[in-house]
Amino acid sequence: MLDSILFTPEDRASLRKNVLITFATQVMLIISYIIVFFLIKDISETSLSHASLLGYTAVLLSCCAIFYYLRLQSYSQALEDGYLTVSRLRTRLSSRLRKLPMAFFRQNETADISNRLLQDMTDAELVFCIHIHEILAGLMVIALITATLLFMDTSLALAMLLAAAPIIPIGIYLSRFMKKNSPAIIRLRERVNKTLMEYFGGIAEIKAADLCGKRFTPWHRADAALRAESLALETRFGIWAQSAQVVLDFSYIAMLLLGSWLISSGSIPVMTFIFFLLLAGQLYAPLFSQIMLYSELRHCSISLKRTSATLNEKPLQTLPGHTPPKGMDIAFNNVCFSYNKTPVLKDVSFTVPQHTVTALVGASGGGKSTAVNLLLRFWDVSEGSITIGGTDIRTFRQSDLYELFSVVFQDVYLFNDSIMNNILLARPGATEQEAVEAATKACCHDFIMELEEGYQTLAGERGARLSGGERQRIAIARAILKNAPILVLDEATASIDPENELLIQQGLTNLMQGKTLLVIAHRLSTISSADQILLLHDGRIAEQGTHNELMASKGMYYKQWCSQEQLKSWNAVTR
């Protein structure tokens, strides 16, 4: 039920240690009951001396003290080991997600991935901190009490166990019931989270449509479905759980009747029967708990299986044969790439010489972003190879490869942290003075100092407290601070007002010096001075050359340039 991949060697060692402590705890419990039995027996059969009574008291108090000490140790150890196991598991899961190709994130929605790190880890805490410990402790109590009862009187013990036997098929049914129905609950829970994230993500559109105050139908439906399914599951589960409790109650009554008959016939002593009654209460409670805990474990195991599946996802492999790159030339060699069996790039070959500017242009869907994603090794090529300085990027360690790149995306992501920390993200070992110098070169120092807390101002979620142009300039400051030899710009000035665009271009000019530059551009005017321009169409390089060469050929590039020039004269109020 619990995949071995979820446990590290340290986790297994801690679990074994806790099992031994738990076993010792339950042994002390049984010893305490045995002492109580002999105490009552001596009191009823003989005149117990004060010395003997004091001896019984001392031994019983010592056993109780040891029992409670061991139980506290067992409980504390279980919590400590459980949370440590989940902490390690969460760290391993985060590390694995960081190494997975972008295809994984396209195939799984953000809400689903966040649930793996949040809700699934909550379920994991229940398993490793409570369920495993309680199940092991319960099994030990059942085994020890059963062995003790069989030793005291085999026939009465077997009769008691036989009367409680119907609880076994009930437990099996409940376990299978939870295994069958839990996935539906988890899927509905994910749907609720997903629609809630959609609601807040689209809050601007909802406000603009004057839908605030009205029910958000997708979330309402998902919540209603989850409520109905959860109620149906809990109701049905509760009926069978109560049935198990009824079986145990009737078993206890049956034992009382049988014991009374055996006493009246002289088959067993009264003290033996009293001891049976004493231990029976301690046996039935963990029997019932086992059914509840094991059923809950079945439910949580669905989450753990998903965690296990994520840990088993294959990251991008590093190929052998790495040699240090000779320069920063970038080369695409007969590169092909397909996504879900759909060809995206088809036999693409080009070279970006060191310290030159190459622009990728073309209509949306032509393959520009895919080419950059392959260079950054967010995916691996289906065929061909990409090299930097003659070295295949697949032979680089991931950390070594990313040290070569500074990237400014069109959609800049800022964390809800201080602006200073958002800049230092590019090079955590840099000083604050170096970050300020980078911000100055990126033309964002002045607006940062105008903020209430300057560089310590929180950027807000996804940088919501800053404008689009300000976020772009922070991203350029990051890139300047990192000072990597290869610079990738993904339409860094798109959708920016002229004033911000001028500042961003000044920042980019400072950033580009001495770099190998690859630019994705939709606005052709921004890349007219590039050393080479590649026009991608339908996954192939349709045209290649400088701006003047492509304009002279009067092909697709020429037509796109003319179309954009015409758009400059468009007026929103023209009729």
Measured distance CA(315)–CA(198) in Å, rounded: 29
What are the residue ranges of CATH 3.40.50.300 in the chain? 330-567
- The mean pLDDT value for 211-240 works out to 78
- Residue 379 in contact with residue 318, Cβ under 8 Å? no
Question: What one-letter code names the amino acid at 300?
Answer: C
> What's the whole-number mean pLDDT along residues 144-158?
81
Residue 495 has a pLDDT of: 47
What three-state secondary structure class fits 188?
Answer: helix
d(CA 119, CA 128): 14
- Residue pair 24/141 in contact by the 8 Å Cβ criterion: no
Q: To which residue do tokens 């986790």 refer?
A: 11
Looking at residue 334, its pLDDT comes to 93
Class of domain 4-311: mainly alpha
Helix pair angle (270-311, 167-201), 10° resolution = 40
Strand partners, 418: 458
Spatial separation of the C-alpha atoms in residues 301 and 170, rounded to whole Å:
20
The two three-digit tokens of residue 389, written as one number? 């300085």
Determine contact, residues 520/440, Cβ cutoff 8 Å.
no
The two three-digit tokens of residue 515, written as one number: 């770099």
What are 182's two structure tokens?
Answer: 């839990």
Most confident of 112-126, 179-193, 268-282, 362-376: 362-376
Stretch 339-347: mean pLDDT: 85
Give the C-alpha separation, 569 to 88, whole Å: 59
Instruction: Please tell me the predicted confidence (pLDDT) of residue 575.
Output: 46
Q: What gap in Å lies between CA 411 and CA 495, rounded to an integer?
A: 10
d(Cα 426, Cα 439) in Å, to the nearest integer?
A: 12
pLDDT digits (tens, 9 = 90+) for 395-430: 988 888 888 988 888 778 888 888 899 899 888 888
Q: Is residue 91 over pLDDT 90? A: no
Does domain 330-567 fall under CATH 3.40.50.300? My reply is yes
pLDDT higher than 70, residue 321: yes
Joined together, the tokens standing for residue 329 give 């030339």
Pull the structure tokens for residue 263.
């006493």
**pLDDT in the model for residue 207:** 66
For residues 34 and 92, give the distance between their C-alpha atoms in angstroms, rounded to a whole number. Answer: 47
Q: If you average pLDDT over every residue of the chain, what do you get?
A: 81
- Written as one string, the DSSP assignment of 403-415 is TTEEEE-SS----
Helix (H, G, I), strand (E, B) or coil at 61: helix
pLDDT(520) > 70: yes
pLDDT surpasses 70 at 6: no
Residue whose C-alpha is closest to residue 544's, from 380, 350, 400: 350
Contact yes or no for 20/137 (Cβ under 8 A): no
Please give the torsion angle defined by the CA atoms of residues 84, 85, 89 and 90, in that order, rounded to the nearest 10 degrees. -30
Q: Coil, strand, or helix at residue 336? A: strand
Q: How does pLDDT run across 525-560, given as a tens digit for each residue?
A: 778 888 899 998 888 888 899 889 888 988 888 888
* Amino acid identity for residue 125 in this structure: E
In whole angstroms, give the CA distance from residue 62 to residue 60. 5
Angle at 553 between CA 551 and CA 558, to 5 degrees: 40
For residue 186, the SS3 value is helix
In the chain, which residues fall in CATH 1.20.1560.10? 4-311
Tell me the three state secondary structure of residue 396: coil
pLDDT value for 506: 62
477: burial class by Cβ within 10 Å (0-12, 13-18, 19+)?
buried
